[in-house]
Amino acid sequence: MGGAASEGVVIAAYQTGLGVVAISLLLLAEVFVLRAILAAREERRRRVLDEWRPLFVQAMVEMPDRVPAAPRHDAATLLGLFNHYHQTLRGDATESLNRFGRAAGLDEAALALLRHKSLSGRMIAAAALGHFGERRAWDDLLRLAQGSYPALSLAAARSLMQIDAGDALPALLPLIMARGDWPAARVAVILTQAGPDAISQPLADAAIQAPPAVAARLVRYLAAAHYDVAARALRQILATTEDEQLIASCLRILNDPRDLEMARRYLHHSSWHVRLQAASALGRMGAPADTEGLVGLLSDPEWWVRLRAAQALAGLPFLSTGELRSLQASQPDENARAVLEHAIMERRPA
Amino acid sequence: MTLSHLVLAFQWFYLLYFIGINVGYMALTFIAMFRMGRCMERRQSESGPPVYSGLEPPISVLAPAYNEEATIAASVRSFLQLNYSEYEIIVVNDGSKDGTLDVLIREFALYPFPEAYPHRVPTQRVRGTYRSAAHPNLRVVDKENGGKADALNAGINASQYPLFCAVDADSILRRDSLERIVEPFLEDPNTVAAGGTIRVANGCQVAGGFLVKADLPRNWLALFQVVEYLRAFLSGRLGWTPLNALLVISGAFGLFRKETVVEAGGYRTDTVGEDMELVVRLHRHLRLAGRRYRIAFVPDPVCWTEAPEDMKTLRNQRIRWQRGLAESLMLNRKLLFHPRSGAVGWLAFPFTAFFEWLGPFVEVSGYLVMILAFFMRAVSPEALGAFLFVALGFGLLLSMISLLVEEVSFRIYPRADHILRLFAAVVAENFGYRQLNSLWRLIGLIRWARGGKAKWGEMKRTASWRVPD
């Protein structure tokens, strides 16, 4: 680069360098300013928690003599503490905590925070309103449950179920079925916490009517339902479906000796996932007549089916270790002997 | 062509390279800042311990161990205290020459167990398997030496769960590390791999295998690495994630879907960058097959690891990393500009190839050319000064943005003097450390190009931060 143009480039480079160094120093200043702001916020939060924590603890047992009004500015902090204690409490203590929260105005604060812009604020508020069982928040929570942000919509769904599971489940079932962004593990927590009385029949009905891919997911949730209601649905589904994933899901839950015949039908299914679950089912509720069927699976082409069959055999209460050893010795297949050795040792650890 | 023309051509090349690399990293950093904001909002709303439903996918934690008799018991004890609904720990003793296996047997009441499982990925011979009478979820595989990748493959074979978490035996985890890193798998069933932020343990206090107090190291080399790790994880990796184009998950801590990894062939044992190579291969395998998948990154600090504090160990590490990067890209070069490769093949791969793979060559030659041109009076002192000043400026800026991201997110280093020391490192690393790194990486590049077997080498571990049990 020569001459004036070159000089211009050099000047531009120096100015650019100065500019980015200046921005870097500004960022350093911003880090310190942010740190100071966050430290002040954290200090305030600590003071608020130090003041209110003893009151919350006392409130779990008896209402404190003096219940201060919750400062609006600290609503999120106090609601967070409220939610934290609710996670660990059961029974009368939760009611006591709710009475205290209402006396302090935390229910009103949660209602206001639910309409705030902040995502974390809305999640905290949604959780708190669920613990309060606050019916006034119903419409807002339903709207949030239908919203696009998964974590917030799930928090809202959970609260709706806490407020009134009977009313909430019909509104939430379509969402549970349709929303692939709701993790099954989280949905299962919500349904389990609602209790089998609230969820059993609606879930069972929905599982029967849903398309196979959706039904397979719903069937997994039936583990939290009353078994007799779930079993009726499982039998109806198994009588009509040929979907492998759905069959496997149903077999995973079956646990009634009356359904043995149904489980036995799947021992030779073309899908190894189904055979595996059939073996597991027989291991849970099998009769002496099922020994032969399980022994047959010891030479299954799929290794996991072999191991599960061996574990099912080892789990049958009417088979002694000696009988299992005899069975093992009689197997011509080396793999069958190996999985039986594994299963027998699991039954009788050293 | 005269010398001045040549110098001019070089200057334009380096200018364009400089603009390209800084624009690229700026873009990644801004994407990362946005992602971090969303993540922190969610973290702030969490309260109380998690509630498990039993539908969380169970995890096999695989910990390869080679000559770890001094630390293996403490590491396993810490793994046993992880919070998660269902997981197993499989320690793979990779033909240790010391008493690693004896320590495990003694400390955890191990007994031989005739495990029957399919050896789906070929490995060196497995000599035996053990279970623990005291800890039902602890298993040990004893095998002949085959290297870390081979040990991980043996662990994969022995694992009984659908997800496996590859950890280093000396990784320091948090109790909620598994809870954090499994989140992408819960949110999206198409997730096949997830990584988290790795932090430098030097200077910190660790007790019972868990971090009790975060602090900065006194050693300058380790301090430089703290800054590097912040840049790499909080800007680089987080930035690629929304594009589903993350090319590396650290071998110190990563979670994978076992069936997908087995389908792709397991870890390669003929590369020193087996962690990166696996991730790039997963992209290749799944993109080219047109399958929907996700490789995610969790910005939480899930794992702490000791960084080298002496030049020799650091040098060996950087040479190895560069070789690993070169091998990973070369072995999966089919991904580059493939019609089905999406953001991986059209953005991440070429970016990494040009700025990371070839970067050391360009950087070192840039310095050499500029200095040579200066001594030959083809470049004025002002031009040289300007070049170095701009380079310093952008180096500062990228690191400062990473510090800012750290400040608004996890704020691991709470004191004001921490920030000053980090800033000092951000400035100082530009006067020798970065240049040394480029040189070492260039050596790694040359060694890769010349072929020959790469070695891991020995790392001098001090573990000075470990509080005695």
DSSP per-residue codes, B76-97: HHHHTT---SSEEEEEEEES-S
Torsion of CA B299, B239, B331, B351, to 10 degrees: -160
From B166, B175, B168, B165, select the one nearest B208 (Cα to Cα): B175
What confidence score (pLDDT) does residue B47 get?
59
Nearest residue of B to residue A86, measured between CA atoms = B48
* The pair of three-digit structure tokens given for residue A182, joined into one six-digit string: 């709701």
Mean confidence (pLDDT) of chain B: 89
Chain centroid, CA A147 distance in Å? 19
Residue B454: per-residue pLDDT: 53
- Is residue B357 within 8 Å of B329, Cβ to Cβ? yes
Q: Produce one character per residue of B209-248: b if its CB has 16 or more CB atoms within 10 Å, e if not.
A: bbbeebebbebebbbbbbbbbbbbbbbbbbbbbeebbbbb
Interface with A, mutate which of B2, B39, B47, B131 (most A CBs under 10 A)? B47
CA distance A235 to chain B (A): 22
- Cα–Cα dist A87/A237, whole Å: 36
Residues of chain B positioned with their CB less than 8 A from the CB of A310: 116
Instruction: Give Dmax (Cα) for chain A.
Output: 99
CA gyration radius, chain A: 30
pLDDT on residue B390: 84
Query: Pick the residue with more confidence: A98 or B234?
Result: A98
* Inter-chain touch B396–A342, beta carbons under 8 Å: no
Distance CA B85, CA B75 (A): 20
The residues in A 233-292 lying below 8 A from B, measured between CB atoms, are: none
Among the partner-chain residues B44, B393, B404, the one whose CB lies closest to the CB of A27 is: B404
A72 touches chain B (CB under 8 A): no
Cα radius of gyration rounded to whole Å, chain B: 23
| Binary contact (A19, B393; C-beta < 8 A) | yes
Q: Worst-scoring range by mean pLDDT, A224-228, B1-5, B266-270, B416-420?
A: B1-5
Minimum distance, in Å, between the CA of residue B312 and any CA atom of chain A: 32
- Look at residue B392 in the predicted model and tell me its pLDDT: 86
- Which pLDDT belongs to residue B383? 79
Is the model's pLDDT at B273 over the cut of 50? yes
End-to-end CA distance of chain B: 69
Q: Under an 8 A CB cutoff, do A16 and B393 touch?
A: yes
Of B48, B394, B400, the CB nearest to A88: B48
pLDDT at B291 over 90: yes
- Which chain A residues are Cβ-neighbours of B428 within 8 angstroms? none
Region B313-317 average pLDDT: 95
Asked if residue B49 has pLDDT above 80, the reply is no
Instruction: Say yes or no: B8 contacts chain A, CB-CB below 8 A.
Output: yes
Residue in B186, B382, B419 closest to A31 by CB: B419
pLDDT for position A1: 44
Residue B467 confidence (pLDDT) above 70: no
CA distance to partner chain A, nearest, from residue B430 (Å) = 13
Interface residue B459 vs chain A (CB under 8 A): no
Least confident piece of the model among A314-318, B326-330, B367-371: B367-371
Flag whether pLDDT at B327 surpasses 50. Answer: yes
CB-based contact, A99 to chain B, within 8 Å: no
User: Model pTM?
Assistant: 0.90
Chain B's closest residue to A122, CA to CA, is B45
**Is pLDDT above 90 for B89?**
yes
Within 8 A by CB and 6+ apart from A145, the residues are A153, A154, A156, A157, A160, A171, A172, A175
Predicted pLDDT at B145: 97
Q: What is the pLDDT of residue A227?
A: 94
Cα B12 to Cα B91: distance, rounded to the nearest angstrom: 53
CA–CA separation, A23 and A261 (whole Å): 75
- Name the B residues in 43-72 with CB < 8 Å from any A CB: 43-45, 47-49, 51-57
Check residue A163 and give its pLDDT.
Answer: 96
**DSSP single-letter state for residue B466:** B
HSE (side-chain half, CA atoms, 13 Å) at B129: 19
Report ipTM (2 d.p.).
Answer: 0.84
- Chain A partners within 8 Å of B407 (Cβ): 31, 34-35, 38
The residue with greater pLDDT, A35 or B8, is: A35
* Token output for B40: 């922190």
CB-based contact A345 B113, cutoff 8 Å: yes
Say whether pLDDT at B469 is over 50.
no
B34 part of contact set with chain A, CB < 8 Å? no
> Could you give the C-alpha distances from B455 to B289, B320, B322, B323, in angstroms and in order?
34, 8, 13, 10
Interface contact B47-A17, CB threshold 8 A: no
pLDDT of residue B238: 87
For residues A56 and A178, what is the distance between their CA atoms, to the nearest angstrom? 39
Across B385-410, average pLDDT: 86
Q: At B360, is the pLDDT very low, low, confident or very high (cuts 50, 70, 90)? A: very high
Cα A84 to chain centroid distance, Å, stands at 18
Q: Does A341 touch chain B (CB under 8 A)?
A: yes
Q: Which residues on A lie below 8 Å from B113 (Cβ)?
A: 342, 345, 350
Pair of tokens at residue A191: 């349904």
**A-B contacts at Cβ under 8 angstroms:** 162
What does the pLDDT read at residue A7?
Answer: 74
Contact call for residues B235 and B32 (beta carbons, < 8 A):
yes
Binary contact (B403, A223; C-beta < 8 A): no
- Name every chain A residue with its beta carbon within 8 A of the beta carbon of B43: 120
Q: Please give the share of chain B, as a percent, with pLDDT higher than 70.
A: 94
Q: What does the pLDDT average to over B426-432?
A: 91
Touching A: B residues 106-165, CB under 8 Å? 111-118, 131, 133
Tokens representing residue B169 in the block: 């035996």
Mean pLDDT, each 10-residue run in order, chain A (350 residues): 63 85 90 88 92 93 90 92 89 91 96 91 94 96 94 93 95 94 90 94 96 93 94 95 96 92 94 97 93 95 96 94 95 94 82
DSSP H helical segments within B82-206, as ranges?
Answer: 100-107, 148-158, 177-181, 183-187
Q: Are B189 and B93 in contact (CB under 8 A)?
A: no
Rounded to an integer, the average pLDDT of B226-255 is 92
